[in-house]
């Protein structure tokens, strides 16, 4: 089942990646634009969300409505995501409409209208997005947690800050868009049914320029406080905690992933068993791996009613600590089965593959094959995972809570 990776680099450095899938009629693509929250200047937190909306409000010879109608006319399903490093815009659609869709996306990226009158609603929606987080404490706690955990500015809120959004002007945002839509740092990935030769020809016409723009680097600043509580008179205390671990390019990456699966991979994993099954403390509890190019961690969430919050936090931290004391062969076997099966199930979806190959290239400078990932997972053993945990224990937690009551950390 070895899949073939298509790759081409335009003169300006823009990377084109593709993975052809024989069993599907659809195609999905992503443009990873280097305009994520962390890569924008200080003092305009949330600008990436304004840009993500504004660029769709008319491009080239089409006004707002005409552009929306043209996209809808192709039956494509848009995806827009603001991350730490990238603003990712993409779509899934029937394969026959790919070429027309790419023409429209080139207009959006290179020739967006960015008109003054369309700026205000784009900014207002970004502000509303931040305000609506108050009504979704679970999402809010995770955003705040990443902000507190990662060195500045990498954890910067992808939703934004109301104050800074209010100060944003159309002129400033236009300039940031121009500065950050740097094709030399843009990755285009496509998966599903397509002809790569045709894509390369079309992309050369649409995106090839001679000039290669300089690549900026950011210096991280130390991270913030260890415990943050936000008061909210809700029904539950929403607990987020995070501890550092190795990045995707580390030789211990797969040992870390297995360790996290033992903790919270399946229903028999330790967190679910100890927190929910044995004690009935929570409905939602889970931990997963979370990585940026600059740093990585294990991110954990639990929501529970106030009188159980302290115990919930203590049981979770005890489970993190207990990992290095011993892991059974059976646990490792299950963790491997879970990771391998998730990998293959996701590989059936074109949008998931387009996202994965683009993400791999950004993180590692290359795309891992499914076989490589599978064999690396296979290579891990009880000994290798424990050895990793002894030298990289899960300790020093950044904790954020939102709810009617605080918890005691340590």
Cα separation values, 21 from 187, 194, 341, 385, Å:
20, 9, 18, 34
Cα separation values, 290 from 19, 129, 213, 287, Å:
24, 23, 30, 9
Instruction: Note whether 114 binds another protein by CB under 8 A.
Output: no
Cβ-based nearer residue to another protein, 148 or 236:
236
DSSP at 62: B
Instruction: Say which residue the tokens 């919050």 belong to.
Output: 309
Choice from 125, 162, 363, 382 touching another protein (CB under 8 A):
125
Instruction: Note whether 284 binds another protein by CB under 8 A.
Output: yes
Stretch that binds another protein, among 103-111, 213-221, 292-300, 328-336 (CB under 8 A): 328-336
Neighbouring C-alpha atoms within 13 Å toward the C-beta of 178: 8
Instruction: Note whether 103 binds another protein by CB under 8 A.
Output: no
The interface with another protein within residues 202-241 (CB under 8 A) comprises: 232-236, 238
Burial call 352-382: b when 16+ CB within 10 Å, e when fewer: ebbbbbbbbbbbeeebbbbeebbebbeebeb
Instruction: Note whether 2 binds another protein by CB under 8 A.
Output: no
The interface with another protein within residues 82-101 (CB under 8 A) comprises: 92-94
Instruction: Note whether 318 binds another protein by CB under 8 A.
Output: no
Stretch that binds another protein, among 154-162, 202-210, 240-248, 281-289 (CB under 8 A): 281-289
Name the H helices within 43-136: 47-54, 64-73, 98-110, 116-132
Stretch that binds another protein, among 7-15, 73-81, 211-219, 317-325 (CB under 8 A): 73-81
Cβ-based nearer residue to another protein, 122 or 295:
122
φ/ψ region of 43 (left if φ > 0, alpha if ψ in -120 to 50, else beta) reads: left
Choice from 157, 158, 350, 398 touching another protein (CB under 8 A):
350
Stretch that binds another protein, among 108-116, 262-270, 317-325, 383-391 (CB under 8 A): 262-270
Q: What's the CA gap between 220 and 161, in Å, rounded?
A: 20
* Token reading at 393: 């224990």
CB of 242 to another protein, least distance (A): 21
Length of the chain: 410
Count residues near another protein (CB under 8 A).
77
Cβ-based nearer residue to another protein, 379 or 395:
379
The interface with another protein within residues 16-45 (CB under 8 A) comprises: 22-26
Q: What's the CA gap between 314 and 56, in Å, rounded?
A: 47
Instruction: Note whether 166 binds another protein by CB under 8 A.
Output: no
Instruction: Note whether 116 binds another protein by CB under 8 A.
Output: no
Instruction: Note whether 277 binds another protein by CB under 8 A.
Output: yes
């Amino acid at each position: 089942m070895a899949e073939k990776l298509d790759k081409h680099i335009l003169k300006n450095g823009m990377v084109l990646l593709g993975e052809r899938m024989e069993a599907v009629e659809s195609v999905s693509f992503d443009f990873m634009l280097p305009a994520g929250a962390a890569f924008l200047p200080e003092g305009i937190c949330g600008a990436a969300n304004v840009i993500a909306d504004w660029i769709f409000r008319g491009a080239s010879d089409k006004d707002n409505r005409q552009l929306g109608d043209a996209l809808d006319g192709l039956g494509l399903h848009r995806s827009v995501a603001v991350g730490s490093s990238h603003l990712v815009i993409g779509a899934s659609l029937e394969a026959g409409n790919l070429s027309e869709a790419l023409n429209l996306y080139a207009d959006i990226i290179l020739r967006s209208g960015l008109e003054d009158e369309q700026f205000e609603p784009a900014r207002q929606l970004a502000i509303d997005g931040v305000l609506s987080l108050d009504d979704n404490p679970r999402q809010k706690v995770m955003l705040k947690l990443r902000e507190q955990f990662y060195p500045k500015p990498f954890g910067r809120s992808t939703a934004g800050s109301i104050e800074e959004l209010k100060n944003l002007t159309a002129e400033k945002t236009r300039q940031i868009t121009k500065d950050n839509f740097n094709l030399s740092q843009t990755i285009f990935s496509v998966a599903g049914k397509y002809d790569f030769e045709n894509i390369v020809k079309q992309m050369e016409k649409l995106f090839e320029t001679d000039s290669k723009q300089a690549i900026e680097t950011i210096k991280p600043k130390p991270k913030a406080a260890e415990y943050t509580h936000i008061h909210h008179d809700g029904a539950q205390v929403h607990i987020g905690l995070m501890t550092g671990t190795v990045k995707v390019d580390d030789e211990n990456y797969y040992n870390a992933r297995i360790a996290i699966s033992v903790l919270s991979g399946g229903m028999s994993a330790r967190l679910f068993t100890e927190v929910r099954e044995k004690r009935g403390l929570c409905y939602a509890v889970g931990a997963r791996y979370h990585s940026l190019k600059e740093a990585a961690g294990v991110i954990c969430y639990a929501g529970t009613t106030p009188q159980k919050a302290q115990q919930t936090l203590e049981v979770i931290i005890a489970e993190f600590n207990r990992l290095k004391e011993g892991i059974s062969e059976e646990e490792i076997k299950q963790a491997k089965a879970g990771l391998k099966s998730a990998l293959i199930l996701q590989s059936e979806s074109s949008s998931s593959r387009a996202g994965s190959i683009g993400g791999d290239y950004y993180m590692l400078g290359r795309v891992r094959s499914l076989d490589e990932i599978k064999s690396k997972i296979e290579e891990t053993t009880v000994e290798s995972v424990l050895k990793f945990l002894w030298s990289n224990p899960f300790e020093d937690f950044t904790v954020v809570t939102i709810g009617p009551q605080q918890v005691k950390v340590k």
